[in-house]
Amino acid sequence: MYRLWKPAFAALVCLLLVLATAQAEVVEGLYRQQILVQSQGDAERREAASRALESVLVRVTGRTDIMQQPAASQLATRAGQLLESYRYETTTETLQQGDEQLPASRLILTFSRAAIDNTLRRAGLPIWPDNRPSVLVWLVKDDINGGRQQVSLQEPGELTAVVAEVTASRGLPVVVPLLDLQDQLSISADDLWRLDGEKIRAASARYGVDAIAIGRYSQTSSGRWLGAWSLLHKQRMEVFDSHSDQGEAALVAAGLDAIGTYLGNAYAIVSSPDTRGGVLLQLQQVQSFANYVDALDYLESMAVVRQLELIALRHSNLWVYLHTEGEIDALLDALALDRRLMAPAKDPGVIALPRQSTAPLGSWENPLRFRWPG
The answer to whether 305 and 263 are in contact (CB under 8 A) is: no
Q: What is the pLDDT, as a whole number, of residue 343?
A: 87
How many residues does this entry show for the chain?
A: 374
**pLDDT per residue as tens digits for the range 241-261:** 999 999 999 999 999 999 999
**What mean pLDDT is reported for the chain?**
88
Chain center to CA of 353: 36
Instruction: Return the percentage of the chain with pLDDT > 90, whole number.
Output: 75
> What stretches of 5-146 adopt beta strand conformation (E)?
25-26, 32-37, 83-97, 100-111, 126-127, 131-132, 135-143
Instruction: Return the percentage of the chain with pLDDT > 70, whole number.
Output: 89
Q: What is the greatest pairwise CA distance in the chain?
A: 78
Q: What is the pLDDT, as a whole number, of residue 11?
A: 39
**β-pair partners for 370:** 283
Domain covering 277-371 in this structure, CATH number: 3.30.70
- The reply to whether 277-371 shares the fold of 131-269 is no
The answer to whether 139 and 252 are in contact (CB under 8 A) is: yes
- How many of the other CB atoms lie within 10 Å of CB of 326? 22
**pLDDT per residue as tens digits for the range 340-368:** 999 887 644 434 444 445 688 988 889 99
Identify the CATH assignment for 131-269 out of 3.30.70, 1.10.287, 2.30.30, 3.40.50.
Answer: 3.40.50
Enumerate the domain spans of the chain. Answer: 29-127, 131-269, 277-371
**pLDDT per residue as tens digits for the range 18-75:** 433 445 778 999 999 999 999 999 999 999 999 999 999 999 999 999 999 999 999 9
Chain center to CA of 209: 12
**pLDDT per residue as tens digits for the range 315-330:** 899 999 999 988 888 8
- Is the pLDDT confidence value at 178 over 90? yes
The answer to whether 179 and 153 are in contact (CB under 8 A) is: no
| Cα(322)–Cα(317) distance, integer angstroms | 16
**pLDDT per residue as tens digits for the range 117-153:** 999 999 999 999 999 999 999 999 999 888 999 999 9
Question: Helices 42-61 and 158-170 sit at what angle, rounded to 10 degrees?
Answer: 90
Question: What does pTM read for this prediction?
Answer: 0.83
- Is the pLDDT confidence value at 17 over 70? no
